[in-house]
Structure formats: structure tokens, C-alpha cells
């Protein structure tokens, strides 16, 4: 693994943003442009290229972002890529987002300020991730599923049990104590596992409403199905590890999920229902694969 630094790197960054990427240089360019607009002055961006087929294209995009550095990953998935980014980060606070995301300008400031709040200390923080493609019914449905899974866990004190890594931050020592589980090979379940281990360790994950990220998912109906099947595979792995395979979410969770989907229109609501079928298919596939591995 090699790291390249920009001549414009902050000498003493206070916030590092880790962005894993693979084979999406065009989307990465939009993400980096949004990160360059961050109002946090002492910020560095660590891009981890997880073995893109066109590594030169990724390097060219990173070279256009003055705050960014490039780390070469080994193609072992987003969990391993994030851990590599944390190891390369130089700041006491690490933020995570994805290469198809666009954080609003005050995103990093909002997350870092909440972590620094002595009156109500939190070990990790997360903001809302919103659909960045409002004209896409498929993207709206996909985001409804992810958003509900996270925001249904927020309690009266503003603490969460789960947040996706599209919009997450913690202090560097927390990342060291609770690394991502690199046995998760896909972008599915590894964030749920990380949050579960964080909370189980007695640490807190707080919600920051102002730290908004726009998620630009480019999904066809077939891509949506494959995504939800992948999430099902990750969900099986996560639930098997937690010992909760036989404990489904309460009925109110699914009612709220469908309500959120239909809030974006009839077709989006129906797709959210389809997503539950795809998730079940993925869980069955992973159960079969797990038996084969044994």
C-alpha cells in the first residue's frame, strides 16, 4: 500500500475524512468537490482506492483536490479500506463518507463540534443521509430503506444504535479500539456490526441533524434488487454474529418502513416492499453459503 500526499496538505489537520472508493472516478470527483467546500479549515481527505480497475483515473481525480491524499487498498472491501484510511489519517477526529455522497458545506464542522461538546459527550456521531436524486424512484426507495434502518434507532436523548458509514464520525482512539470487521467482504452489514460493537462497549453514538449528506445512488431496478440482496447477505452475517437470527424486528418497524417508502410515492413504496423480498433472498443465499463454508 502506498500513500501520496498533496503539497497543499494541512500541516496539523484536526479532521480527517476517509473516503473508500472503487471504480467510480466520476462520482468521486463530485464527492471531493463537496469536501473541498467544507467550512472546516484544518481538514484533510484520505481517499482509499480499493483496487479500482483504472487506478490512474482515480489518482487523477484525487490530484485535483488540494486537501486530498491517496492510499492504495488491496481490494478487500470497504471495511478493510476504512481501516486503512484510519491508519493513514493524521487528525484526532475521523469522518467517514462514501464516494457517491455529497456532504453539505458545514458537515464536518457539525460532526466535529458535537464530538467536542463536553456537556453531552459522545464517542461517535452521525448525521442524516438524504436522497440526492429526487427524480429517481429507485434511489428514493433505496434511501428510504437505509434511512429508516438508522433513524428508527434514535431514542429520546438523541442517541442511536446504528448509522451508515455514509455519514459517521468518531475520535481516532475510538476507531483504534473498535475497528471495522474486515471479514465482511461487501458493502453490507459491516456498518451495522461496527455500530453494534461500539454500543456494546458502552460508548455512545449521537445524532447530529445538521450534518447532512446527499446520497447520489445511480440504480436501475435490477441494480436495486442486487443491492438489497447484498444487504440481506450482510444482514444474515450480522444477525448470525449477534445471535439474533430468530428475532425479527417488531411489526411497528416494518409499518414505519413502508410508511416512509410510500411518503415518496406509490412506486417508491412498492419498491420498499420488494426490497424486503430481496433481503430475504439474500439472507437465504448467505445461509447456504455459510453452510458450504463450514
| Contact yes or no for 191/144 (Cβ under 8 A) | no
Q: How far, in Å, CA of 241 to CA of 234, rounded? A: 11
Residue 116: the pLDDT is 93
Q: Are strands 168-171 and 124-126 parallel, antiparallel or unpaired?
A: antiparallel
pTM of the model: 0.91
d(CA 122, CA 100): 27
* Residue closest to 112 by CA, chosen among 120, 124, 103, 102: 124
| Position with higher pLDDT, 158 vs 242 | 158
pLDDT digits (tens, 9 = 90+) for 127-153: 999 999 989 999 999 999 999 999 999
Q: pLDDT of 9-20, one tens digit each?
A: 557 899 999 999
pLDDT (tens digit per residue) in 161-204: 999 999 999 999 999 999 999 998 888 889 999 999 999 999 99
- Give the single-character DSSP code of 119: G
Predicted confidence at residue 7, as pLDDT, reads 40
Amino acid at each position: 500500500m502506498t500513500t501520496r500526499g498533496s503539497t497543499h496538505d494541512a500541516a496539523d489537520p484536526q479532521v480527517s475524512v476517509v473516503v473508500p472508493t472503487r471504480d467510480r472516478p466520476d462520482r468521486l470527483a463530485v464527492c471531493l468537490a463537496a469536501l473541498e467546500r467544507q467550512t472546516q479549515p484544518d481538514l484533510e481527505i484520505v481517499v482509499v482506492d480499493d483496487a479500482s480497475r483504472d487506478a490512474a483515473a482515480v489518482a487523477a481525480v484525487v490530484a485535483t483536490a488540494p486537501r486530498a491524499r491517496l492510499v492504495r487498498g488491496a481490494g478487500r472491501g470497504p471495511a478493510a479500506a476504512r481501516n486503512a484510511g484510519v491508519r493513514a489519517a493524521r487528525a484526532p477526529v475521523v469522518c467517514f463518507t462514501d464516494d457517491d455522497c455529497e456532504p453539505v458545506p458545514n458537515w464536518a464542522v457539525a460532526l466535529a463540534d458535537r464530538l467536542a461538546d463536553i456537556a453531552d459527550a459522545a464517542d461517535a456521531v452521525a448525521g442524516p443521509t438524504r436522497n440526492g436524486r429526487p427524480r429517481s424512484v429507485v434511489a428514493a426507495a433505496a434511501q428510504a430503506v437505509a434511512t429508516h434502518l438508522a433513524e428508527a434507532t434514535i431514542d429520546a436523548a438523541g442517541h442511536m444504535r446504528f448509522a451508515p458509514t455514509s455519514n459517521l464520525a468518531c475520535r481516532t482512539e475510538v476507531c483504534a479500539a473498535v475497528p471495522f470487521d474486515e471479514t465482511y467482504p461487501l458493502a453490507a452489514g459491516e456498518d451495522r456490526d461496527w455500530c453494534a460493537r461500539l454500543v456494546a462497549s458502552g460508548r455512545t453514538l449521537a445524532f447530529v441533524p445538521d450534518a447532512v449528506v446527499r446520497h447520489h445512488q445511480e440504480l436501475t431496478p435490477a441494480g436495486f434488487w442486487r443491492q438489497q440482496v447484498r444487504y440481506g447477505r450482510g444482514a444474515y452475517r450480522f444477525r448470525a454474529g449477534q445471535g439474533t437470527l430468530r428475532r425479527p424486528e417488531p411489526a411497528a418497524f416494518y409499518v414505519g418502513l413502508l410508511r416512509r417508502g410510500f411518503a415518496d410515492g406509490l412506486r417508491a413504496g412498492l419498491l420498499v416492499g420488494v426490497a424486503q423480498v430481496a433481503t430475504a433472498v439474500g439472507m437465504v443465499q448467505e445461509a447456504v453459503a455459510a453452510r458450504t463454508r463450514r
